[in-house]
């Protein structure tokens, strides 16, 4: 079963509209990362959240991690065509000092922003 | 450009051939990761290096796969006797440390097509 569930799978919005993407885990996670990917390209790091209740913003994108550290949301305000792409959440589930802290990813949310 | 680089960007090969990919991490990063991404899925962890030591391997990494990081700088991923199921995007990521310093920065990927 998928350890990280992202919703929605795809999203089409009109330019200027706000939107939210969700990432849910059945287990408590150690760290939650958000990345953006253009088709056929690598991942661009957006934000990392570690503390329950933490919220970070960069330009028009805000990411939050709930108090239980099992759910995160990514909110884009006043979307622009440049926001289009695939948004991926990745989680570190196991933390041991010296461990790999490998990321487990959701399947991604494909965002289309129509001008 | 001081980001993670990967070479080649695209590789087309015939089934049964061997292929090798290279990853150059960000220069001061001692952690290096390989992931594999298939269409419509998030990246899946393959293996992890701390400096030159390969410390973790996924069960996805069959005997046909081998990875090295001989001097703790660049890394190579070799696939022997390629199969059509190996067709995927191979992504390399690097990070500086652990915990809050473990933001993983990804390269552009190598897209492998096995005919």
Q: What is the pLDDT of residues B15-31, one digit of tens each?
A: 999 999 999 999 989 99
Contact criterion met (CB < 8 Å) for A33 and B103: yes
**Cα(B37)–Cα(B102) distance, integer angstroms:** 21
> Please, what sign has the CA dihedral across residues B4, A32, B48, A26?
negative
Q: Specify the DSSP class assigned to residue B58.
A: -
Q: Give me the pLDDT at residue B31, please.
A: 93
Per residue in A54-100, pLDDT (tens digit) is 999 989 999 999 989 899 999 999 999 999 999 999 999 876 666 77
Which neighbouring-strand residues pair with B10? B111
pLDDT for residue B92 is more than 60 = yes
User: Per this entry, what is the length of chain A?
Assistant: 115
Best probe of the A interface among B58, B104, B107, B111, by most A CBs < 10 A, is B104
Q: What is the mean pLDDT of residues B83-102?
A: 87
Contact criterion met (CB < 8 Å) for B103 and A50: no
Q: What is the CA radius of gyration of chain B?
A: 13
Per residue in A20-48, pLDDT (tens digit) is 999 999 888 889 999 999 988 899 999 99
Nearest to A108 among B42, B95, B109 (CB): B42
Q: Per-residue confidence at B99, pLDDT binned at 50, 70, 90?
A: low
pLDDT averaged over every residue in chain B = 93
- The Cα of B16 is separated from the nearest Cα of chain A by a number of Å equal to 25
**CB atoms near residue A11 (< 10 Å):** 19
> Please, what sign has the CA dihedral across residues A84, A69, B105, A63?
positive
Size of interface A-B (CB pairs under 8 A): 72
**CB atoms near residue A78 (< 10 Å):** 11
- B102 vs A contacts (CB less than 8 Å): 31, 92, 101
- The Cα of B25 is separated from the nearest Cα of chain A by a number of Å equal to 13
B64's tokens:
């046909």
């Amino acid at each position: 079963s998928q350890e990280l569930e992202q919703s929605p799978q795809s999203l089409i919005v009109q330019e200027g509209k706000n939107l939210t993407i969700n990432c849910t885990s059945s287990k408590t996670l150690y760290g939650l990362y958000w990345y953006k990917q253009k088709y056929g390209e690598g991942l661009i790091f957006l934000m990392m959240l570690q503390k329950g209740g933490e919220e970070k913003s960069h330009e028009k994108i805000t990411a939050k991690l709930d108090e239980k550290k099992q759910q995160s949301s990514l909110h884009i305000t006043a979307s622009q065509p440049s926001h289009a792409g695939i948004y991926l959440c990745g989680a570190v589930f196991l933390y041991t000092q010296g461990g790999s802290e490998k990321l487990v990813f959701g399947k991604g949310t494909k965002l289309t922003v129509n001008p | 450009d001081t980001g993670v680089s990967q070479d080649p960007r695209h590789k087309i090969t015939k089934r049964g051939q061997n292929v090798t990919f290279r990853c150059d991490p960000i220069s001061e990063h001692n952690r290096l990761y390989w992931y594999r991404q298939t269409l419509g899925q998030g990246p899946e962890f393959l293996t992890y290096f701390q400096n030159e030591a390969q410390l973790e391997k996924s069960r996805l990494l069959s005997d046909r796969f081998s990875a090295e990081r001989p001097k703790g700088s660049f890394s190579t991923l070799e696939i022997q006797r390629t199969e059509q199921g190996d067709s995927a995007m191979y992504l390399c990521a690097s990070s500086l440390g652990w915990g809050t310093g473990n933001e993983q920065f990804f390269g552009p990927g190598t897209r492998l097509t096995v005919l």
